[in-house]
Amino acid sequence: MLLTLDYAEQLDKKDRLNRFRDEFYTKPNSIYMDGNSLGLLSKRAERTLLESLNDWKEHGIDGWTKGKHPWFFLSEKLGEMMAPLVGASAEEVIVTGSTTVNLHQLVATFYKPEGKRTKILADELTFPSDIYALQSQLHIRGYDPDTYLIRVKSRDGRFLEEEDIIEAMTDEIALIILPTVLYRSGQILDMKRLTAEANKRGILIGFDGCHSIGAIPHSFSEWGIDFAYWCNYKHLNGGPGSVGGLYVNRKHFGTFPGLAGWFGSKKEKQFDMEHTLTPSETVGAFQIGTPHVLSLAPLLGALEIFEEAGIENIRAKSLKINQYLMDLVDHELSDMGFSIGNPIEDKRRGGHISLEHKEAARICKALKENGVIPDFRAPNIIRLAPVALYTSYSEVWQVVQILKKIMGEKQYEKFENEREVVA
């Protein structure tokens, strides 16, 4: 029964989130499996972008305080809408900057080397941009990254063990930066446990939530996480270059921002144009420059959908549809050189599946030729992301049948086994 299209169609009929599929622009004869890199455009995101364009057209400069979505308060409004997705209060979340800019802001603010505590703890599997930013921050302080940036090693090249991270929390560590979900394997780190261990040792800890926000529930404030940052163009469907998200626990309110800018001002003081910054009393203090309004606007519509669908429901379907994909792979592709490189357990698995194959780059190109949009990560990973809001079980079934055909007919052999400029 599992192997039939009829079974997949029955799952679609029972799917409580199926109605949201029509909210998104999907292409005929194409199956989009790359929502963990760039989410699809929704009709609501398009609407709120056009509304903000109209505010510009109708109000000009007065769009900052008038119109459908006044720009001056847009980052705070979006922070309020996003707060339930990260388990925080509205005052602790702001939509501003980008992933890497926000990381620079947070490290500049919270990395305070003193005495023996001079090192930053990260991991060897994290996204490269985070490492570049940490190396840069150490260089600025006059520290050699080869000595002062500690990267926890993976035992197998796929996963991290929390025990290894905790063991690395020595009295030399001043700051910890970790991913919530590993971008290759999709492993969820135990944020609650790691934060508790860091807190016991008096070490500040922050998380990169790029691959988890919008895919899994979080409880940042309850767990006592010091800060977090993320992008909004993956699971949150905010559009290419969408403005990033930033969380700071309220216990740090009043900390002067490491990178100060006028949009970190207390709102009623900002246009006094004084040369002494009066920071916002909330997370807003960690904004730097004028927000990119037209890259903020789509999130207004995108987040409406999350409010209606509910992150718990999204997670429940994500787990079910990804398990269905893994079951199909096991049944249909087990003798074709594929292995599953993501955690099998629900509690450790994020929103995408990582298929490993020595011909991964070529297979991804063949998938595209067959109307499936996957994602390649060097050296041998095909990432497939059935997104709860717009991917159907029938599409997952079709993807596996297409993969089976590609392998059986050796369609991948006509392609070079190397990535495109953008993988």
| pLDDT for position 421 | 73
Detail the residues annotated as belonging to a binding site for pyridoxal 5'-phosphate. 99-100, 127-130, 208, 211, 233, 262, 290
User: What is the identity of the amino acid at 268?
Assistant: E
CB count within 10 Å of CB 282 equals 20
Alpha-carbon gap, residue 205 to 130, rounded angstroms: 14
Return the CATH fold of 5-32+311-414.
Aspartate Aminotransferase, domain 1 (3.90.1150)
Whether the CB-CB separation of 274 and 295 falls below 8 Å is answered with no
Q: What is the CATH number of domain 47-308?
A: 3.40.640.10
Cβ burial, residue 312 (10 Å; 0-12/13-18/19+):
exposed
Whether the CB-CB separation of 370 and 406 falls below 8 Å is answered with yes
Instruction: Please give the model's pTM, rounded to 2 decimal places.
Output: 0.96
For tokens 């499996």, name the residue. Answer: 33
| pLDDT for position 418 | 81
Q: Boundaries of CATH 3.40.640.10 in the chain?
A: 47-308
Q: What is the mean pLDDT of each run of 10 residues along the chain (423 residues)?
A: 89 97 96 98 98 98 97 98 98 98 98 97 98 98 98 97 98 98 98 98 98 98 98 98 98 98 96 96 97 97 98 98 97 94 97 97 97 95 98 98 97 88 73
Q: Boundaries of CATH 3.90.1150.10 in the chain?
A: 5-32+311-414
Alpha-carbon gap, residue 382 to 173, rounded angstroms: 35
| pLDDT for position 1 | 67
Taking only Cα atoms into account, the Rg of the chain, rounded to an integer number of angstroms, comes to: 22
Detail the residues annotated as belonging to a binding site. 99-100, 127-130, 208, 211, 233, 262, 290
Segment 54-99, tens digit of pLDDT: 999 999 999 999 999 999 999 999 999 999 999 999 999 999 999 9
Question: Parallel, antiparallel, or unpaired: how do β-strands 173-179 and 119-123 relate?
Answer: parallel
| pLDDT for position 420 | 80
| pLDDT for position 192 | 98
